[in-house]
Structure 1
Amino acid sequence: MKKQTYHHGDLKQELIYNGLLLLNIEGFEGFSLRKVASMCGVSHNAPYKHFKDKHALINEIINEVWKEFNLALLKVTKLYPDKPKLQVVEMGKAYVRFMVENPECFKLMFLSDNTRTIRIEDDRFYSENDNAFEIFKDCSERYFREINLNKNLYTQKTLTMWSMVHGIAILISKKSIEYKGDYLALVERMIITSII
């Protein structure tokens, strides 16, 4: 999420951006509209023009972060509609890029109590529609069909690929891997050598 410069009409986005920063610093317990207003340099009543209470702002922040992430993944699938393997590789890179370039989003999405759960029952995934994992799963399954992978392996392979990309994102964003070159080129090589 890119910071918006506040001027007339941009206060809502400024509240969302600064609210995200505050959530990562203070957590849900220490979050208040008054604090966000102070960060934006506006009166403590100004946020109420856009949000009825702090819970409404928190929900908007969470929805905005996940929407941006989903769009980052969807964008690459649309670039390569007939090339499932390339979609998988580019989606993995987009995933890592988003986490590295948006550490405040990464922290809220995966290092807080606000994670979106993926359930597995009877070797099948159950998750919300239109979320990042569904986009990733659908893309992976297109690739699996192209390489004629046994359908019984779809769940394990999808989960393995998701976990690998997520792990790479954590290692790079937390600087656990020190790499002097283009980190996305490294990510691409790791994904290519790891998929079927």
Structure 2
Amino acid sequence: MDKKSYHHGDLKQQLIENGLLLLNQKGLEGFSLRKVASMCGVSHTAPYKHFRDKDELVNAINEEVSKKFYSALSEVASLYKNAPKLQIIEIGKAYVRFMVENPEYLKFMFLSDNPYSIKIKDNIFYECKENSAFSVFIHSSKKYFEIINLDKDLYIDKILSMWSLVHGMAILISKKSIEYRGNYLKLTERIIRSSLEI
């Protein structure tokens, strides 16, 4: 049987995209390069031209999803860098929009064997990469807290509260646990604004 041919570089991206689908469907235990190759319509040896093993492909999938999530938030942050309150509102909306429009990313990052972890120790966030979506959220939150003179001891709690709020909205809307007939981003904005009334 003839296998589908790819231009240089196309197969690697196809492996990442189909690998994400397979991980979401079967989890890590049901994941293999052979299965991803079959989904791409190529021989079982073809993936090894791009990935040493399945762990390397999983890492590539994680990097791709994390990079796109980071880009979605950082692009919005740069548009509103001189308006801290509006910036945090728009970042929250961007978070919800990204997850609603990319449910496969939501499942991979937060509802699978590959959790997007937030680590806290001694009341500080640690192991938080500068090019992560959460770091964008932290920086924006702190800018807003500074202009409203929020007690620094409350920063961690307030950041987690706001992150949890938009995360919850993203899941509820994506899973249709909230069936809102209007514009879900306007609803999200109203809820975020009400949460900022400290």
Work out whether the TM-score is over 0.5.
yes
Q: Deviation string for 1:64-123 (max 9, x for gaps)?
A: 111110111101001111111111011001101111111111111001132132222332
Paired residues, number? 191
Deviations 1:150-190 (A, max 9, x none): 11211111111011111111110110001111111111111
Q: In the alignment, what sits opposite 1:3?
A: none
2:40 corresponds to: 40
Q: Which residue is 1:132 aligned to?
A: 133
Q: In structure 2, what is the Cα distance between the partners aligned to 1:178 and 1:127?
A: 36
Question: Secondary structure at the residue paired with 2:30?
Answer: coil
- Per-residue CA deviation, residues 36-88 of structure 1 (Å, 9 max, x unaligned), is 11111111111111111111111100111111101111010011111111110
Query: Secondary structure of the equivalent of 2:51?
Result: coil
> What one-letter code is carried by the residue in structure 1 that aligns with 2:38?
S
% identity of equivalent residues: 63
2:161 corresponds in structure 1 to 160
Deviation track 1:118-158 (CA, whole Å, cap 9, x = no partner) reads 22233222232222211111110000001111112111111
Contact kept? 1:23, 1:31, Cα under 8 Å? yes
Where does residue 21 of structure 1 map in the other structure? Answer: 21
The aligned residue for residue 145 of structure 1 is 146
Opposite residue 56 of structure 2, the aligned amino acid is A
Tell me, in whole angstroms, the C-alpha distance in 2 between the residues paired with 1:80 and 1:34.
45
- In 2, Cα distance between the equivalents of 1:52 and 1:161? 40
Measure, in 2, the Cα distance between the counterparts of 1:122 and 1:42: 50
Q: Distance in 2 between matches of 1:147 and 1:186?
A: 24
* Structure 2 stretches lacking a partner, 5+ long: none
Is the 1:100–1:173 contact (alpha carbons within 8 Å) kept by the matching residues of 2? yes
- Distance between the aligned counterparts of 1:133 and 1:113, measured in 2? 19
Q: Could you tell me which residue of structure 1 aligns to residue 184 of structure 2? A: 183
Determine if contact 1:117/1:127 at 8 Å carries over to the other structure. Answer: no
Correspondence list, 1:27-176, <5 A? 27-130=27-130, 131-176=132-177
Paired amino acid for 1:32: S
SS in 2 for 1:82: coil
Q: Does the CA contact (< 8 Å) of 2:28 and 2:113 recur in 1?
A: no
- Which residue does 2:7 correspond to in 1? 8
Query: Secondary structure at 2:116's aligned position in 1?
Result: coil
Partners of 2:27 and 2:113 within 8 A in 1: no
SS in 2 for 1:15: helix
